[in-house]
């Protein structure tokens, strides 16, 4: 398979604290990979490296074959959904999408916007203010916005935290559908009930990969729980 994302021998420190040391990771094109681990394990750091928000002290980060240390061209193929909302609460659903489309140079986004509104169950809410949406619909809009320019890679940081079960299930299913269509997904979470048996799972601890494999092969929720510190287990 083609590598969509490669981190090779990456070192990164915040001040005197080493977060990653000789860290390597590969994500295949079209894979759905869940990144698990307790707080401070390095999950958000890996997200930020792939998103181009930070650069490694040593080593290389390549996105769709482009080294982030040499060019940011690969970021055109990356959609991002952050923990904190990046939507403008004063704008409507469609205004948020049109604004983002403009930032990406999409001259005729109407058809693509309609497609995503239908896919994420937001039809009929085009004129609704983001401020008036519930948490589940806001999250769906965040993901729809990230997918507007048809990225090859989708990064999501704790995308379902605080959502009701129905909203969580809808988002999990929608993102798995995108992976089945060839989008590479990196899904950062604490919640094991979001994962499907065939999902690629990476367990981090102290900046190191302590386990990797299909969710079912790692023993599901019960098998993975042993990789966490006793005072910070994943939520079931």
Closest to 57 (Cα-Cα) out of 125, 11, 94: 11
What is the band of 226 on the pLDDT scale with cuts at 50, 70, 90? Answer: low
Distance CA 227, CA 230 (A): 9
Q: Average per-residue pLDDT in the chain?
A: 92
In a domain, 17, yes or no: yes
Domain of 183?
A: 3-87+151-225
Residue 102 lies in a domain: no
Q: 53 lies in a domain?
A: yes
pLDDT over 70 (residue 227): no
11 located within any domain: yes
Residue with structure tokens 């704790």? 158
Q: In CATH, what number is assigned to the domain containing residue 69?
A: 3.40.50.300
Residue % of the chain over a pLDDT of 90: 83
Total domain count for the chain? 1
If you average pLDDT over residues 119-127, what whole number do you get?
A: 95
Parallel, antiparallel, or unpaired: how do β-strands 184-188 and 17-28 relate?
unpaired
Q: Is residue 140 part of a domain?
A: no
Model pLDDT for residues 184-225, shown as the tens digit of each residue: 999 999 889 999 999 999 999 999 999 999 999 999 988 887
Bridging pattern class, strands 32-36 and 184-188: parallel
Evaluate whether residue 56 is within a structural domain. yes
Residue 121, domain member (yes or no) = no
Residue 145 has pLDDT above 70, yes or no: yes
Res 235 pLDDT > 90: no
- Kindly state whether residue 36 falls inside one of the protein's structural domains: yes
Query: Which two three-digit tokens encode residue 64?
Result: 């769709």
Whether the pLDDT of residue 103 is over 70: the answer is yes
The stretches of 51-164 forming alpha helices (DSSP H) are 93-103, 110-119, 135-147
**Which residues are within 8 A (CB) of 64 and not within 5 positions of it... i.e. 6 or more apart?**
4, 74, 77, 152, 153
**Strand ranges (E), the chain:** 3-14, 17-28, 32-36, 58-63, 66-67, 78-81, 153-157, 184-188, 200-205, 208-214
């Amino acid at each position: 398979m083609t590598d969509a994302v490669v981190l090779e021998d990456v070192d990164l420190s915040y001040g005197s604290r080493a977060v990653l040391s000789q860290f390597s990771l590969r994500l295949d094109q079209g894979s759905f990979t869940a990144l698990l681990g307790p707080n401070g394990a390095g999950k958000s750091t890996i997200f930020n490296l792939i998103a181009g928000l930070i650069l490694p002290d040593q080593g290389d980060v390549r996105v769709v074959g482009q080294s982030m240390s040499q060019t940011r061209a690969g970021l055109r193929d990356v959609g991002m959904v952050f923990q904190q909302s990046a939507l403008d609460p004063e704008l409507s659903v469609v205004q948020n999408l049109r604004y983002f489309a403009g930032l990406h140079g999409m001259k005729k986004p109407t058809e693509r916007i309609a497609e995503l509104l239908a896919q994420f169950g937001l039809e009929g809410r085009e004129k609704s203010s983001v401020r008036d949406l519930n948490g589940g619909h806001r999250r769906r809009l965040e993901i729809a916005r990230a997918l507007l320019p048809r990225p090859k890679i989708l990064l999501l940081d704790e995308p379902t935290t605080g959502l009701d079960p129905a909203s969580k299930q809808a988002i999990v299913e929608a993102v798995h559908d995108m992976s089945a269509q060839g989008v590479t997904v990196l899904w950062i979470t604490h919640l094991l009930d979001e994962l499907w048996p065939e999902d690629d799972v990476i367990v981090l601890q102290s900046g190191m990969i302590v386990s990797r494999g299909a969710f079912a092969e790692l023993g599901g929720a019960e098998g993975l729980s042993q990789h966490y510190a006793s005072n910070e287990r994943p939520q079931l």
